A and B are shown apart, each in its own frame.
Chain A
Amino acid sequence: LPGDKELPIRIEADSALRDENKGITQYEGNVKLDQGSLHIEADRLIIQHQADDARKIEAYGRPAIMRQQPDVDKGVITARGLTIEYFREEERVLLTDEASVEQDGSIARGDVIDYDIPNKLIQVGPKQGDNGSRVHVIIPAQTAQQVQDNQKQDKQAQDAAPDPNQVADPNAPLPAAQAQAEAADGATEGQ
Protein backbone atom coordinates (compact mmCIF):
# COMPACT_ATOMS: atom_id res chain seq x y z
CA LEU A 1 0.00 0.00 0.00
CA PRO A 2 1.19 3.55 -0.56
CA GLY A 3 1.89 4.04 3.16
CA ASP A 4 4.02 0.88 3.48
CA LYS A 5 7.25 2.78 2.97
CA GLU A 6 6.83 4.76 6.19
CA LEU A 7 6.14 1.72 8.37
CA PRO A 8 8.83 -0.13 10.37
CA ILE A 9 10.38 -3.18 8.77
CA ARG A 10 10.24 -6.35 10.86
CA ILE A 11 12.50 -9.31 10.10
CA GLU A 12 12.66 -12.78 11.64
CA ALA A 13 15.34 -15.37 10.92
CA ASP A 14 17.22 -18.29 12.41
CA SER A 15 20.51 -16.40 12.45
CA ALA A 16 22.10 -13.16 11.30
CA LEU A 17 25.57 -11.83 10.57
CA ARG A 18 26.06 -8.13 11.12
CA ASP A 19 29.11 -6.48 9.53
CA GLU A 20 29.88 -3.17 11.16
CA ASN A 21 32.45 -2.27 8.51
CA LYS A 22 30.28 -2.83 5.48
CA GLY A 23 27.13 -1.65 7.23
CA ILE A 24 25.09 -4.67 6.23
CA THR A 25 23.24 -7.41 8.07
CA GLN A 26 22.71 -10.82 6.44
CA TYR A 27 19.81 -12.88 7.76
CA GLU A 28 19.72 -16.62 7.13
CA GLY A 29 17.28 -19.47 7.61
CA ASN A 30 13.52 -19.17 7.27
CA VAL A 31 13.71 -15.41 6.77
CA LYS A 32 10.49 -13.39 6.90
CA LEU A 33 10.22 -9.65 6.33
CA ASP A 34 7.09 -7.56 6.90
CA GLN A 35 6.45 -3.88 6.23
CA GLY A 36 2.76 -3.09 6.14
CA SER A 37 1.32 -5.03 3.21
CA LEU A 38 4.79 -5.92 1.93
CA HIS A 39 5.93 -9.46 2.81
CA ILE A 40 9.13 -11.21 1.73
CA GLU A 41 10.02 -14.85 2.41
CA ALA A 42 13.54 -16.04 1.59
CA ASP A 43 16.38 -18.34 2.60
CA ARG A 44 18.76 -15.42 2.87
CA LEU A 45 18.21 -11.71 3.07
CA ILE A 46 20.67 -8.82 3.14
CA ILE A 47 19.87 -5.34 4.40
CA GLN A 48 22.11 -2.34 4.07
CA HIS A 49 21.93 -0.17 7.17
CA GLN A 50 24.89 2.10 6.55
CA ALA A 51 22.75 5.22 6.26
CA ASP A 52 20.55 4.59 9.27
CA ASP A 53 17.61 3.19 7.27
CA ALA A 54 17.45 0.05 5.15
CA ARG A 55 17.92 1.42 1.62
CA LYS A 56 18.24 -1.77 -0.32
CA ILE A 57 16.98 -5.23 0.50
CA GLU A 58 18.30 -8.32 -1.31
CA ALA A 59 16.47 -11.63 -0.92
CA TYR A 60 17.67 -15.02 -2.14
CA GLY A 61 15.63 -18.18 -2.18
CA ARG A 62 14.37 -21.11 -4.19
CA PRO A 63 12.50 -18.98 -5.02
CA ALA A 64 12.33 -15.89 -2.83
CA ILE A 65 8.78 -14.59 -2.68
CA MET A 66 7.55 -11.02 -2.33
CA ARG A 67 3.91 -10.05 -1.87
CA GLN A 68 2.43 -6.57 -1.73
CA GLN A 69 -0.94 -4.92 -2.19
CA PRO A 70 -0.24 -1.91 -4.42
CA ASP A 71 -3.48 -0.15 -3.54
CA VAL A 72 -6.58 -0.58 -1.45
CA ASP A 73 -8.72 -1.59 -4.40
CA LYS A 74 -6.06 -3.62 -6.18
CA GLY A 75 -5.27 -7.33 -5.93
CA VAL A 76 -2.14 -8.55 -4.19
CA ILE A 77 0.91 -8.76 -6.41
CA THR A 78 3.11 -11.84 -5.93
CA ALA A 79 6.66 -11.63 -7.25
CA ARG A 80 9.04 -14.59 -7.33
CA GLY A 81 12.65 -15.03 -8.26
CA LEU A 82 15.83 -16.72 -7.18
CA THR A 83 17.00 -13.17 -6.43
CA ILE A 84 14.80 -10.23 -5.45
CA GLU A 85 16.29 -6.78 -5.05
CA TYR A 86 14.00 -4.21 -3.49
CA PHE A 87 15.09 -0.56 -3.78
CA ARG A 88 13.05 1.10 -1.05
CA GLU A 89 13.41 4.74 -2.01
CA GLU A 90 12.57 4.22 -5.67
CA GLU A 91 10.00 1.54 -4.74
CA ARG A 92 11.40 -0.62 -7.46
CA VAL A 93 11.78 -4.42 -7.49
CA LEU A 94 14.30 -6.28 -9.65
CA LEU A 95 13.64 -10.02 -9.98
CA THR A 96 16.35 -12.25 -11.44
CA ASP A 97 16.30 -15.94 -12.49
CA GLU A 98 12.99 -17.82 -12.69
CA ALA A 99 11.29 -14.48 -12.26
CA SER A 100 7.54 -14.07 -12.28
CA VAL A 101 4.99 -11.46 -11.28
CA GLU A 102 1.36 -12.38 -10.72
CA GLN A 103 -1.75 -10.30 -10.02
CA ASP A 104 -5.43 -11.26 -10.32
CA GLY A 105 -4.55 -14.23 -12.47
CA SER A 106 -2.28 -12.33 -14.88
CA ILE A 107 1.25 -13.70 -14.92
CA ALA A 108 4.45 -12.43 -16.47
CA ARG A 109 7.50 -14.69 -16.56
CA GLY A 110 11.04 -14.16 -17.73
CA ASP A 111 14.66 -14.20 -16.70
CA VAL A 112 14.63 -10.62 -15.45
CA ILE A 113 11.63 -8.57 -14.35
CA ASP A 114 11.95 -4.91 -13.43
CA TYR A 115 8.84 -3.78 -11.57
CA ASP A 116 8.23 -0.08 -10.95
CA ILE A 117 5.60 -0.08 -8.19
CA PRO A 118 4.42 3.56 -8.13
CA ASN A 119 4.06 3.73 -11.94
CA LYS A 120 2.76 0.15 -12.12
CA LEU A 121 5.23 -0.67 -14.91
CA ILE A 122 6.54 -4.22 -15.38
CA GLN A 123 9.45 -4.80 -17.75
CA VAL A 124 10.12 -8.42 -18.56
CA GLY A 125 13.15 -9.57 -20.49
CA PRO A 126 16.10 -11.93 -20.82
CA LYS A 127 19.32 -11.49 -18.95
CA GLN A 128 21.87 -9.23 -20.61
CA GLY A 129 23.59 -10.96 -23.50
CA ASP A 130 21.27 -13.97 -23.28
CA ASN A 131 18.81 -13.66 -26.19
CA GLY A 132 17.78 -17.29 -26.02
CA SER A 133 15.25 -16.98 -23.23
CA ARG A 134 11.61 -16.11 -23.87
CA VAL A 135 9.11 -13.94 -22.12
CA HIS A 136 5.71 -15.37 -21.19
CA VAL A 137 2.73 -13.22 -20.35
CA ILE A 138 -0.59 -14.79 -19.48
CA ILE A 139 -3.71 -12.67 -19.18
CA PRO A 140 -6.76 -14.78 -18.36
CA ALA A 141 -9.70 -14.41 -20.73
CA GLN A 142 -11.94 -12.90 -18.11
CA THR A 143 -9.39 -10.21 -17.42
CA ALA A 144 -8.95 -9.53 -21.17
CA GLN A 145 -12.71 -9.11 -21.47
CA GLN A 146 -12.58 -6.69 -18.54
CA VAL A 147 -9.90 -4.66 -20.33
CA GLN A 148 -12.08 -4.44 -23.44
CA ASP A 149 -15.16 -3.52 -21.42
CA ASN A 150 -13.23 -0.80 -19.64
CA GLN A 151 -12.04 0.57 -22.95
CA LYS A 152 -15.63 0.54 -24.31
CA GLN A 153 -16.87 2.33 -21.19
CA ASP A 154 -14.12 4.91 -21.43
CA LYS A 155 -15.05 5.57 -25.05
CA GLN A 156 -18.74 5.92 -24.26
CA ALA A 157 -17.94 8.22 -21.41
CA GLN A 158 -15.87 10.40 -23.73
CA ASP A 159 -18.64 10.51 -26.37
CA ALA A 160 -21.26 11.45 -23.79
CA ALA A 161 -19.12 14.13 -22.24
CA PRO A 162 -20.31 17.71 -23.15
CA ASP A 163 -18.15 19.88 -25.38
CA PRO A 164 -16.00 21.72 -22.91
CA ASN A 165 -16.65 24.94 -24.91
CA GLN A 166 -20.44 24.75 -24.58
CA VAL A 167 -22.13 26.52 -21.64
CA ALA A 168 -24.07 24.16 -19.50
CA ASP A 169 -26.52 26.78 -18.12
CA PRO A 170 -28.24 28.82 -20.92
CA ASN A 171 -28.88 31.73 -18.56
CA ALA A 172 -25.26 31.95 -17.59
CA PRO A 173 -23.39 34.87 -19.21
CA LEU A 174 -21.58 33.89 -22.40
CA PRO A 175 -17.85 34.02 -22.34
CA ALA A 176 -16.82 37.44 -23.81
CA ALA A 177 -15.26 36.08 -27.02
CA GLN A 178 -18.29 33.97 -27.86
CA ALA A 179 -20.71 36.89 -27.09
CA GLN A 180 -18.93 39.19 -29.57
CA ALA A 181 -18.96 36.51 -32.26
CA GLU A 182 -22.69 35.94 -31.85
CA ALA A 183 -23.38 39.74 -31.91
CA ALA A 184 -21.43 40.08 -35.16
CA ASP A 185 -23.42 37.19 -36.68
CA GLY A 186 -26.70 38.89 -35.70
CA ALA A 187 -25.65 42.15 -37.33
CA THR A 188 -24.81 40.56 -40.64
CA GLU A 189 -28.10 38.63 -40.64
CA GLY A 190 -30.05 41.86 -40.08
CA GLN A 191 -28.50 43.60 -43.09
Chain B
Amino acid sequence: MPRTVQVLLVVGLVLAANLLWDPLAEDAGERDSERRARLPSVYIDDARSLSFTREGELADVLDARRVEQFGRRGYALLTEPRFYSHSSGSNTWSAWAERGRYEPASGRLLLRRNVVLNHDQAGTRLETSSLDVQLDTREAQTERPVTITWDDNRTVAAGMLARLDAETITLGPDVESTYVPQP
Protein backbone atom coordinates (compact mmCIF):
# COMPACT_ATOMS: atom_id res chain seq x y z
CA MET B 1 0.00 0.00 0.00
CA PRO B 2 1.63 3.40 -0.96
CA ARG B 3 2.94 5.47 1.96
CA THR B 4 0.60 8.45 1.47
CA VAL B 5 -2.48 6.21 1.61
CA GLN B 6 -1.21 4.72 4.88
CA VAL B 7 -0.79 8.20 6.39
CA LEU B 8 -4.27 9.27 5.26
CA LEU B 9 -5.77 6.12 6.75
CA VAL B 10 -4.15 6.71 10.15
CA VAL B 11 -5.31 10.36 10.25
CA GLY B 12 -8.85 9.28 9.38
CA LEU B 13 -8.87 6.70 12.16
CA VAL B 14 -7.67 9.25 14.71
CA LEU B 15 -10.34 11.73 13.66
CA ALA B 16 -13.07 9.10 13.82
CA ALA B 17 -11.96 7.97 17.24
CA ASN B 18 -11.97 11.57 18.40
CA LEU B 19 -15.46 12.14 17.14
CA LEU B 20 -16.74 8.93 18.61
CA TRP B 21 -15.14 9.45 21.96
CA ASP B 22 -15.78 13.11 22.72
CA PRO B 23 -19.54 13.18 22.30
CA LEU B 24 -19.89 10.34 24.71
CA ALA B 25 -17.74 12.12 27.24
CA GLU B 26 -19.39 15.37 26.58
CA ASP B 27 -22.90 13.89 26.81
CA ALA B 28 -22.25 12.45 30.19
CA GLY B 29 -20.71 15.65 31.39
CA GLU B 30 -23.45 17.72 29.94
CA ARG B 31 -26.17 15.55 31.41
CA ASP B 32 -24.53 15.81 34.76
CA SER B 33 -24.29 19.60 34.73
CA GLU B 34 -27.82 19.86 33.40
CA ARG B 35 -29.03 17.71 36.25
CA ARG B 36 -27.11 19.85 38.71
CA ALA B 37 -28.58 23.00 37.16
CA ARG B 38 -32.09 21.58 37.52
CA LEU B 39 -31.56 20.91 41.16
CA PRO B 40 -31.71 23.82 43.55
CA SER B 41 -28.40 24.90 44.88
CA VAL B 42 -29.86 25.81 48.26
CA TYR B 43 -32.91 24.69 50.23
CA ILE B 44 -34.23 26.91 53.01
CA ASP B 45 -37.21 26.08 55.18
CA ASP B 46 -39.30 28.75 56.96
CA ALA B 47 -37.32 31.49 55.33
CA ARG B 48 -37.74 35.20 55.90
CA SER B 49 -36.23 38.02 53.86
CA LEU B 50 -36.46 41.67 54.89
CA SER B 51 -35.88 44.71 52.72
CA PHE B 52 -35.41 48.28 53.90
CA THR B 53 -35.68 51.72 52.37
CA ARG B 54 -32.61 53.90 51.97
CA GLU B 55 -33.68 55.65 55.15
CA GLY B 56 -33.47 52.34 56.95
CA GLU B 57 -37.21 51.82 57.32
CA LEU B 58 -38.70 48.38 56.86
CA ALA B 59 -40.21 48.24 53.38
CA ASP B 60 -41.09 44.61 52.64
CA VAL B 61 -41.04 41.24 54.33
CA LEU B 62 -41.07 38.02 52.30
CA ASP B 63 -41.70 34.76 54.11
CA ALA B 64 -41.97 31.28 52.64
CA ARG B 65 -42.42 27.84 54.08
CA ARG B 66 -39.75 26.63 51.71
CA VAL B 67 -37.30 28.35 49.37
CA GLU B 68 -35.51 26.45 46.60
CA GLN B 69 -32.73 28.66 45.33
CA PHE B 70 -31.48 28.10 41.76
CA GLY B 71 -28.34 30.14 41.82
CA ARG B 72 -27.36 29.71 38.16
CA ARG B 73 -30.78 30.46 36.79
CA GLY B 74 -31.18 33.48 39.06
CA TYR B 75 -34.46 32.72 40.74
CA ALA B 76 -35.92 30.99 43.76
CA LEU B 77 -39.09 28.92 43.93
CA LEU B 78 -41.25 29.58 46.96
CA THR B 79 -43.76 27.37 48.70
CA GLU B 80 -46.60 29.26 50.47
CA PRO B 81 -45.00 32.67 50.12
CA ARG B 82 -46.33 35.52 52.30
CA PHE B 83 -45.47 39.07 51.37
CA TYR B 84 -45.94 42.16 53.59
CA SER B 85 -45.45 45.61 52.17
CA HIS B 86 -45.51 48.99 53.87
CA SER B 87 -47.10 51.69 51.72
CA SER B 88 -45.73 55.24 51.80
CA GLY B 89 -48.09 56.01 54.68
CA SER B 90 -48.34 53.80 57.70
CA ASN B 91 -50.69 51.37 55.97
CA THR B 92 -49.75 47.88 54.91
CA TRP B 93 -50.59 45.37 52.23
CA SER B 94 -50.24 41.65 52.71
CA ALA B 95 -50.29 38.99 50.02
CA TRP B 96 -50.03 35.23 50.00
CA ALA B 97 -50.34 32.34 47.57
CA GLU B 98 -49.68 28.64 47.25
CA ARG B 99 -46.64 29.05 44.98
CA GLY B 100 -44.30 31.82 44.12
CA ARG B 101 -41.11 32.68 42.29
CA TYR B 102 -38.67 35.38 43.27
CA GLU B 103 -36.39 36.91 40.63
CA PRO B 104 -33.84 39.18 42.36
CA ALA B 105 -32.33 40.46 39.12
CA SER B 106 -35.61 41.79 37.73
CA GLY B 107 -36.99 42.57 41.21
CA ARG B 108 -40.14 40.54 40.57
CA LEU B 109 -42.16 38.38 42.89
CA LEU B 110 -44.58 36.16 40.94
CA LEU B 111 -47.42 34.74 43.00
CA ARG B 112 -49.48 31.87 41.67
CA ARG B 113 -52.52 29.76 42.71
CA ASN B 114 -55.12 31.12 45.14
CA VAL B 115 -53.48 34.50 45.40
CA VAL B 116 -54.85 36.95 47.96
CA LEU B 117 -53.84 40.61 48.33
CA ASN B 118 -55.16 42.52 51.35
CA HIS B 119 -55.19 46.19 52.20
CA ASP B 120 -54.98 45.62 55.91
CA GLN B 121 -56.40 48.92 57.15
CA ALA B 122 -59.27 49.31 54.68
CA GLY B 123 -60.11 45.63 54.97
CA THR B 124 -60.14 45.26 51.21
CA ARG B 125 -59.45 41.72 49.97
CA LEU B 126 -58.46 40.94 46.37
CA GLU B 127 -58.47 37.38 45.08
CA THR B 128 -57.04 36.15 41.80
CA SER B 129 -55.12 33.24 40.34
CA SER B 130 -51.92 35.05 39.42
CA LEU B 131 -50.24 38.26 40.58
CA ASP B 132 -46.93 39.81 39.52
CA VAL B 133 -45.43 42.12 42.12
CA GLN B 134 -42.79 44.54 40.82
CA LEU B 135 -40.80 45.25 43.97
CA ASP B 136 -38.93 48.33 42.76
CA THR B 137 -41.99 50.23 41.45
CA ARG B 138 -44.12 48.61 44.18
CA GLU B 139 -46.92 47.64 41.86
CA ALA B 140 -48.91 44.42 41.74
CA GLN B 141 -50.57 43.49 38.48
CA THR B 142 -52.70 40.73 36.97
CA GLU B 143 -54.59 40.21 33.74
CA ARG B 144 -56.62 37.41 35.23
CA PRO B 145 -60.11 37.85 36.68
CA VAL B 146 -60.00 39.48 40.11
CA THR B 147 -62.61 39.66 42.86
CA ILE B 148 -62.54 42.42 45.45
CA THR B 149 -64.58 42.20 48.63
CA TRP B 150 -64.94 44.55 51.55
CA ASP B 151 -67.71 43.99 54.06
CA ASP B 152 -70.72 42.84 52.05
CA ASN B 153 -69.68 44.78 48.94
CA ARG B 154 -68.07 43.15 45.93
CA THR B 155 -66.38 44.13 42.69
CA VAL B 156 -65.17 41.88 39.89
CA ALA B 157 -63.01 42.83 36.93
CA ALA B 158 -60.96 41.20 34.20
CA GLY B 159 -57.68 42.64 35.41
CA MET B 160 -56.08 44.85 38.02
CA LEU B 161 -53.09 47.07 38.85
CA ALA B 162 -52.48 47.92 42.51
CA ARG B 163 -50.09 50.77 43.31
CA LEU B 164 -49.00 49.83 46.80
CA ASP B 165 -47.52 53.19 47.80
CA ALA B 166 -50.37 55.28 46.42
CA GLU B 167 -52.82 52.73 47.86
CA THR B 168 -54.92 52.72 44.70
CA ILE B 169 -56.29 49.86 42.62
CA THR B 170 -57.05 50.29 38.94
CA LEU B 171 -59.54 47.73 37.67
CA GLY B 172 -60.57 46.80 34.18
CA PRO B 173 -61.87 45.94 31.79
CA ASP B 174 -65.40 44.71 32.54
CA VAL B 175 -65.91 46.11 36.00
CA GLU B 176 -69.03 45.11 37.95
CA SER B 177 -69.73 46.21 41.52
CA THR B 178 -72.43 45.44 44.05
CA TYR B 179 -72.87 47.63 47.10
CA VAL B 180 -75.12 46.31 49.82
CA PRO B 181 -76.65 49.10 51.95
CA GLN B 182 -76.06 48.61 55.63
CA PRO B 183 -79.26 48.25 57.72
Chain A contacts for B176, CB-based, 8 A: 10-12
Bound-complex Cα distance A176 to B129 (A): 83
Chain B contacts for A7, CB-based, 8 A: 181
| Interface flag for B121 (CB, 8 Å) | yes
Chain A contacts for B177, CB-based, 8 A: 9-12, 16, 25, 27, 47
Known: A16-B157, A20-B119, A52-B151. A8 touches B181 (CB 8 A): yes
Chain B contacts for A11, CB-based, 8 A: 175-179
| Interface flag for A17 (CB, 8 Å) | yes
| Interface flag for A1 (CB, 8 Å) | no
SS class, residues of chain B in contact with chain A: strand
Bound-complex Cα distance A16 to B170 (A): 6
Q: Mark B137-168, 1 if CB is under 8 A from A, else 0.
A: 00000000000101101010100000000011
Bound-complex Cα distance A84 to B61 (A): 44
| Interface flag for A154 (CB, 8 Å) | no
| Interface flag for A163 (CB, 8 Å) | no
Q: Mark B39-54, 1 if CB is under 8 A from A, else 0.
A: 0000000000000000
Chain A interface size range = 20 to 34
A12 touches B175 (CB 8 A): yes
A49 touches B173 (CB 8 A): no
| Interface flag for A15 (CB, 8 Å) | yes
A8 → B minimal CB distance (Å)? 5
Q: Which chain A residues in 38-60 approach chain B with CB under 8 Å?
A: 47, 49, 52-54
A19 touches B157 (CB 8 A): no
B91 touches A54 (CB 8 A): no
- The 7 A-B pairs at the shortest CB distance, nearest first, are namely A15-B172, A9-B179, A18-B169, A20-B122, A20-B167, A11-B177, A16-B171
> Could you give 27 example pairs across A and B, Cβ below 8 Å?
A6-B181, A7-B181, A8-B180, A8-B181, A9-B181, A10-B177, A11-B175, A11-B178, A12-B176, A12-B177, A14-B172, A15-B172, A16-B157, A16-B175, A16-B177, A17-B169, A17-B171, A18-B155, A18-B171, A20-B121, A20-B167, A21-B91, A23-B122, A25-B177, A49-B150, A49-B179, A53-B181
**Extra inter-chain contacts (12) besides given A15-B170, A15-B173, A20-B122, CB under 8 Å:** A5-B181, A7-B181, A15-B157, A16-B155, A16-B171, A20-B167, A20-B168, A27-B175, A27-B177, A49-B150, A49-B153, A52-B151
Show the binding face of A for B, using Cβ within 8 Å: 5-21, 23, 25, 27, 47, 49, 52-54, 88
